[in-house]
Structure formats: C-alpha cells, structure tokens
C-alpha cells in the first residue's frame, strides 16, 4: 500500500463528465460536476515546522513504527474511541524537547480541520491534558515532508525597484553574511499565485496519498497483511488535508462526498471499504481538479478575468491605488499598496483569511476578526491586524511595524521589523532574520475586544516577550543549502527599549461601522513599559504647563508657536506621517 499509483477498481467508476446524460441513476457519483476536491491551505501555510526530527522522507517506513509507539502511549476513554497523546508522549516518541513537543500541539491546534476537537477549544493550561488524536498527529507529521513552491520573480521588475529601497541600514555588513544569507538578502521574493500553489499542493497529495492512507488504514481480518481497509472514521482524518466545496459553499465531511459512505445508515456503523478503492476515488477527483485549474488558468490568460477566479492576480507594486480582492474560496487579498493609508473593516472582507502582499511605504489597518493572516514581501510599512484567532505569518518583510492581537505568530526571513504583539503563544521565529524587535501590544479600536472574543484571543495571556527561534534554514523550501547550515539557529528578537515604546493611535475611520465598547488597550502593559509611558505623559504635561504659564509678549508667543509648528511639520515629513494626513483629508 506504500505505492500511491492509481489502482483500477471494479466497484467505483471514474467521475462522470459534466454532461448529466452520461450518468446512470443507479451509478454512485463521487461529487457533482460543480464540486471539486481542494487542498486545505492551512496546514501547508501555517502548519510546517522547521524541526528536522519531525521530517520523515522515507514514506511509511519510520512513521508506521512511530504510529505504533504513539498508540501504545495513548489514552482513550469508553466515551471516546480516539486515541490521544500529550506532549510528554510526543517528546518521548519523536525524541524532541518538551518545548518542541508543546510547539507541535500548539501548531496542530491552529490548523486542525475539526473545530469541535477538544484541542482546538482548550485553554493554554489545558492543552497538555487534552492532547491530540494519534491519527491527526500522524497526518501532520507526514506533511512535514512537503516542499513549498519556489517564489517567482515579479512580472514588473522596474515597478519593484521604484518602491523597494536600493539601500538599507544593514547593507554595511552584507559582506559579513554567509553566501546563503547574501543570496537571500539580494533576492526579492514574490508569492506564487493561488492557482500555482493549489496545483503544487494537489500534486504533492497525488504522490503521497497512498502512503497516508496506508498509515490510516486497518488490516482486514483473515485477508492477509496486504488487504487494507478504511473506516468512515479514519477517512475523516483526511479532512486535515483536503475538502470538497466550491463557490463559497460550506465544507462538507469527506464521508458525505464518498460514494461508498454517502448512503450509510447513521444508526448503523458503516462497513470499512478497501483502501485501494478510496485511493482510486481520491486520485480521480484530484486529477479532475488539476485539469479544472489548468483550464481556468488558460482561460484567464486568453480572456478577461472573472470575479470568482481562484487565482487573484497581483497588483503592480508601483501603483498608488489600493487594491483589495476576494476569491470565492480563498483568502481576501490586499496587494500592491504604495505610499498610501488603507483601512478594511469586517464588512469589507469575505471569508476569515487575509493576505497582505507587496505593500510599501504605507499604513494598513485591518480592523476585523480573522482566523488566518499572512503579511508577505512588504517594506517600510505599518500594518495593524485586528484579532486573528488561529495564526499570523509574516515573511520576507523589511522595516515593517506589525501590530497584532493573535493566538500565535510566525516570523520568517524578516529584517529590521518591530512587532507589537498581544499573543497567547510564543512568537515563532524561523529563517534568516536580522535586527528584529518585539514589544507589547500598543493600540486599540472600539470593536477590538468584541473581535477578540469572536476568534478566541485571550487578553490576560500575552507571551510577546518569549520568542522561540528555530533553524535559520527552512527545510520546507525548495532551495539547496550548504552542508551544516541547517544546524544554525535563527537570530531571535530582542525586546524594544521601554523608552522607545509609544502608543499607536488608530484614526476614527469607522463611518457607518457599529461602535464597540473598547476604550483602551485590552492587554495589560508590563511594569517597565507602563512606568515609561507614565513618565512620558508626565513630561508632556509639564511642558504644556510651562508653555501655558510662560509670560511672553504676543510677538514672542507667535514666534514660539510658529517654531513649534515648523518642527512638527518637519517631523511629519521626515517620518512619512504627512501622507496619513493627506489620506485622512481625502477620506
């Protein structure tokens, strides 16, 4: 069963072509012609950890024995047949540290497909006791072998050069970097298209589903070791990787789309089916989706783009006009914002995932509850993310300030960025990073606490100052790396000096939006930052009092006022904040 090549099946015909006249009323249909199988982006985008001991490249050989050991260490109750393991069992089986084992649990909880799983809803103090189901863990471990699609160059290099600074504060020490770091610092990366990524993920699954099914399947009694069968419960574990759905429809359980389980009596346990039959059905559906993607890409290249295309084209980064777009199934996009201020509310976004891509010299406000958020390829920008209940990923950014209230955040390959965080889990730092700083959360808007409650971000737990750095090399990229580099740990982040900490004020852009109850930062400030803030407020009050009480002639008062205004104007231009005033005036 380790061979994932398609097998012929006498019990399941190929999916019918779009014409309904070719299907027989008595023939089971895998899915309607309008519904395709799709990969879940979450485990591929937010669920990969650069920990070498989690990556198994020998198919089922190692994972089969790991599964057996996990099952022997697992616990199950009479009311729950699912075998679950805690971080201690994970650490013992995989020979990793307790911190890394806990990281595995935290990561799985952020990408798990089943929102009713106890791990998803567990409080931070309960996660170890709840643990994770063994078969979900095995699927998670298998996909750690996935290699991301290489980013491709932007179609308009001149536009990139126009907004991406040619010099940087850290250019002076580039000569001290390793060749790997030098190559990465000089390459501008752009996210592959959604269609390319989906096809790449499906191709990976097409190659490896045979092995994954072998790990989930049971051996039929009396049929020999080579006869593997899959129960309806085991099939649902594949929901970690794939789902059926189209045009904004709700994702349905795989068993409801599988012809061999679709008509099962809910009061009677479904009879397990041969794993080879399940594999054939899945491969047929994947092939159909890959063909569909190819047709859509071809149609886009030869004709006008339609609003429902899953592959949302990039906006040229030199454009000064804002662009936001939403695909029918995938995340909303904010792309190519340059030298502007931009705001999005919950009513402006469809879906619960967002990607901010290639934005430069701008201030972007996302004042909405989200499940997932990605910030990619941005520079010299401030990005405010409202409340993110699952995971944030910030990648390939330079001189960016990110303000986020989130369950967890991963920072990869960034330079000279500052992160103002309210996070319930340790910030994860991976890849080639330089001069990163972390600080406590520093803003609010009127609906912030309502949005945090919606997505499950807890204000009483903030681990902003406990960054966890992993390897400088990401084994999930498709690049070749010099020998020994994979053992180097990523540069971690340092805490921002409390004297440099300031609150960030969000302009009142709500307009027709409902006004919430949040009046202040919901995350308590650490003592050092609170003392610094109080000292700054006191100093400001004293200066205002001195200016008010100073006895000056009218001409001297006008001169002082003019000087203060001139200095303030100089600061507005030097800091780039003058652009925000123009944007506010325009709105």
The answer to whether residues 71 and 114 belong to one domain is yes
What pLDDT score was predicted for residue 194? Answer: 84
The answer to whether residues 485 and 374 belong to one domain is yes
What pLDDT score was predicted for residue 295? Answer: 84
**Token pair recorded at residue 257:** 């789309």
What pLDDT score was predicted for residue 513? Answer: 56
Mean pLDDT, the chain, as a whole number? Answer: 78
E strands in 239-381: 242-244, 273-274, 323-326, 332-335, 341-345, 353-357, 363-376
Whether 449 is covered by a domain: the verdict is yes
The answer to whether residues 339 and 401 belong to one domain is yes
The answer to whether residues 394 and 459 belong to one domain is yes
**Token pair recorded at residue 28:** 């089971």
Contact 530, 538 (CB under 8 A): no
More confident of the two residues 511 and 141 = 141
Taking the C-alpha atoms of residue 104 and residue 429, their distance in angstroms, rounded to an integer, is 15
The answer to whether residues 184 and 325 belong to one domain is yes
**Token pair recorded at residue 332:** 């909303």
Q: How confident is the model at residue 147 (pLDDT cuts 50, 70, 90)?
A: confident
For 508, how many CA atoms within 13 A lie in the half-sphere containing its CB?
5
Whether 290 is covered by a domain: the verdict is yes
Strands 437-440 and 418-423, bridge-based pairing: parallel
Whether 520 is covered by a domain: the verdict is no
CB atoms within 10 A of CB 268: 7
Strands 228-230 and 218-219, bridge-based pairing: antiparallel
**Token pair recorded at residue 431:** 């890849």
Question: Could you identify the residue written with the tokens 């027709």?
Answer: 512
The answer to whether residues 303 and 317 belong to one domain is no
Taking the C-alpha atoms of residue 228 and residue 221, their distance in angstroms, rounded to an integer, is 9
Which of 287, 308, 329 is where one domain is finished? 308
What pLDDT score was predicted for residue 152? Answer: 59
User: Is 60 exceeded by the pLDDT of residue 153?
Assistant: no
CB atoms within 10 A of CB 227: 16
Whether 138 is covered by a domain: the verdict is yes
E strands in 118-225: 132-133, 218-219
Question: Could you identify the residue written with the tokens 């409080």?
Answer: 123
The C-alpha angle with vertex 273 and arms to 271 and 275, in degrees rounded to 5, equals: 150
**Secondary structure of 75-109 as H, E, C letters:** EEECCEEEEEECHHHHHHHHCCCHHHHHHHHHHHH
Which of 351, 432, 353 has its CA nearest to residue 395? 432
What single-letter DSSP state applies at residue 125? G
Residues in the chain: 587
Domains held by the chain: number:
4
Give the CA distances from residue 261 to residues 63, 236, 257, 322, 466, in Å, rounded to whole numbers and listed in that order. Answer: 27, 11, 8, 47, 47
The answer to whether residues 129 and 169 belong to one domain is no
C-alpha R_g of the chain: 27
Give the CA distances from residue 256 to residues 11, 286, 314, in Å, rounded to whole numbers and listed in that order. Answer: 18, 17, 36
Q: Which domain holds residue 568?
A: 529-586
The answer to whether residues 294 and 319 belong to one domain is no
**Which residues share a beta bridge with 411?**
394, 429
Using one digit for the tens of pLDDT, what is the confidence trace for 355-366? 999 999 999 999
Contact 318, 335 (CB under 8 A): no
What pLDDT score was predicted for residue 195? Answer: 85
| Burial of 296 per CB tally in 10 Å (0-12, 13-18, 19+) | middle
Contact 114, 479 (CB under 8 A): no
Average pLDDT estimate for 566-576:
78
Whether 521 is covered by a domain: the verdict is no
Which of 280, 308, 336 is where one domain is finished? 308
The torsion defined by the Cα of 180, 183, 189 and 194, in degrees rounded to 10, comes to -50
Average pLDDT estimate for 416-440:
95
What pLDDT score was predicted for residue 16? Answer: 42
The answer to whether residues 405 and 479 belong to one domain is yes
Whether 133 is covered by a domain: the verdict is yes
Contact 336, 358 (CB under 8 A): yes
More confident of the two residues 213 and 151 = 213
Percent of the chain scored above 90 by pLDDT?
Answer: 42
Give 217-225's long-range contacts (Cβ < 8 A, gap of 24+).
Answer: 217/1, 217/275, 218/272, 220/272
Average pLDDT estimate for 206-214:
93
Which of 156, 103, 113, 149 has its CA nearest to residue 133? 113
Q: Quick one: how far is CA 71 from the chain centroid?
A: 30
What pLDDT score was predicted for residue 241? Answer: 94
Q: Judge if pTM exceeds 0.85.
A: no
Question: Could you identify the residue written with the tokens 């030298």?
Answer: 339
The answer to whether residues 220 and 275 belong to one domain is yes
The torsion defined by the Cα of 165, 169, 174 and 180, in degrees rounded to 10, comes to -60
The answer to whether residues 278 and 265 belong to one domain is yes
Give the CA distances from residue 36 to residues 47, 94, 197, 245, 290, in Å, rounded to whole numbers and listed in that order. Answer: 23, 36, 16, 6, 10
Whether 512 is covered by a domain: the verdict is no
Whether 376 is covered by a domain: the verdict is yes
**Which residues share a beta bridge with 384?**
365, 403
**Token pair recorded at residue 535:** 């000292």
Using one digit for the tens of pLDDT, what is the confidence trace for 59-69? 888 999 999 99
Average pLDDT estimate for 90-105:
94
**Which residues share a beta bridge with 385?**
366, 404
Secondary structure (3-state) at 13: coil
- Angle, helices 194-216 vs 275-302, to 10°: value is 180
More confident of the two residues 372 and 514 = 372
CATH of the domain at 418: 2.160.20.70
For 351, how many CA atoms within 13 A lie in the half-sphere containing its CB?
19
Question: Could you identify the residue written with the tokens 């967890």?
Answer: 408
Q: How confident is the model at residue 379 (pLDDT cuts 50, 70, 90)?
A: very high
User: Is 50 exceeded by the pLDDT of residue 23?
Assistant: no
Q: How confident is the model at residue 515 (pLDDT cuts 50, 70, 90)?
A: confident
Average pLDDT estimate for 544-552:
78
Which of 164, 63, 181 has its CA nearest to residue 398? 164
Contact 167, 142 (CB under 8 A): no
Taking the C-alpha atoms of residue 446 and residue 457, their distance in angstroms, rounded to an integer, is 16
The answer to whether residues 139 and 54 belong to one domain is yes
What pLDDT score was predicted for residue 3? Answer: 47
């Amino acid at each position: 069963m380790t061979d994932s090549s398609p097998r012929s099946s006498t019990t399941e015909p190929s999916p019918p072509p779009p014409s309904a006249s070719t299907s027989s009323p008595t023939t089971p249909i895998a899915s309607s012609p309008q519904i395709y199988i799709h990969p879940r982006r979450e485990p591929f985008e937010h669920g990969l950890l650069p920990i070498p001991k989690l990556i198994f490249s020998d198919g089922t050989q190692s994972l089969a024995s790991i599964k057996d050991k996990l099952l022997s260490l697992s616990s199950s109750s009479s009311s729950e047949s699912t075998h679950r393991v805690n971080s201690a069992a994970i650490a013992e089986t995989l020979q990793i540290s307790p911190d890394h084992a806990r990281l595995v649990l935290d990561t799985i909880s952020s990408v798990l497909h089943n929102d009713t799983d106890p791990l998803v809803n567990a409080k931070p103090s309960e996660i170890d006791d709840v643990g994770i189901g063994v078969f979900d863990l095995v699927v998670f471990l298998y996909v750690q072998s996935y290699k991301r699609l290489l980013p491709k160059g932007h179609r308009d290099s001149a536009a990139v050069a126009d907004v991406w600074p040619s010099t940087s504060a850290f250019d002076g020490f580039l000569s001290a970097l390793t060749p790997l770091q030098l190559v990465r610092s000089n390459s501008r990366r752009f996210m592959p298209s959604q269609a390319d990524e989906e096809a790449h993920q499906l191709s990976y699954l097409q190659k490896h589903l045979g092995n994954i099914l072998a790990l989930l399947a049971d051996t039929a009694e009396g049929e020999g070791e080579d006869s593997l069968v899959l129960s309806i419960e085991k099939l649902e574990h594949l929901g970690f990787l794939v789902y059926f759905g189209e045009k904004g429809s709700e994702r349905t359980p795989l068993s409801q789309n599988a012809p061999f389980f679709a008509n099962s009596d809910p009061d009677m346990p479904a009879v397990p089916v041969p794993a080879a039959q399940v594999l054939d059905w899945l491969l047929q559906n994947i092939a159909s989706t890959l063909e569909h993607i190819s047709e859509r890409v071809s149609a886009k290249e030869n004709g006008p783009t339609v609003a429902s295309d899953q592959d949302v084209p990039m906006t040229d980064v030199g454009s000064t006009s804002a662009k936001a777009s939403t695909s029918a199934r995938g995340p909303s996009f904010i792309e190519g914002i340059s030298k502007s201020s931009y705001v999005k509310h919950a009513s402006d976004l469809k879906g619960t995932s967002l990607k901010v891509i290639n934005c430069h010299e701008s201030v972007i406000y996302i004042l909405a509850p989200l499940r997932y958020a990605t910030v990619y390829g941005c520079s010299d920008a401030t990005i405010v993310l409202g409340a993110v209940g699952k995971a944030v990923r910030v990648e390939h950014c330079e001189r960016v300030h990110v303000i986020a209230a989130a369950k967890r955040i991963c920072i990869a390959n960034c330079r000279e960025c500052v992160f103002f965080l309210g996070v319930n889990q340790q910030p994860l730092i991976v890849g080639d990073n330089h001069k990163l700083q972390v600080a406590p959360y520093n803003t609010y808007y009127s609906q912030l606490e309502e949005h945090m409650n919606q997505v499950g971000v807890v204000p009483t737990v903030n681990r902003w100052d406990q960054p966890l750095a992993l390897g400088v090399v990401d084994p999930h990229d498709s690049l070749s790396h010099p020998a020994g580099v994979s053992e180097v740990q990523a540069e971690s982040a340092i805490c921002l000096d409390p004297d440099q900490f300031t609150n960030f004020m969000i302009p009142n852009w709500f307009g027709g939006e409902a006004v919430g109850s949040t009046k202040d930062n919901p995350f308590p400030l650490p003592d050092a930052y609170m003392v610094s803030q109080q000292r700054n407020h006191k100093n400001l009050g004293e200066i205002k009092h001195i200016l008010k009480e100073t006895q000056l002639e009218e001409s001297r008062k006008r001169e002082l006022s003019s000087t203060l205004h001139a200095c303030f104007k100089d600061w507005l231009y030097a800091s780039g904040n003058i652009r925000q005033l123009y944007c506010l005036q325009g709105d």
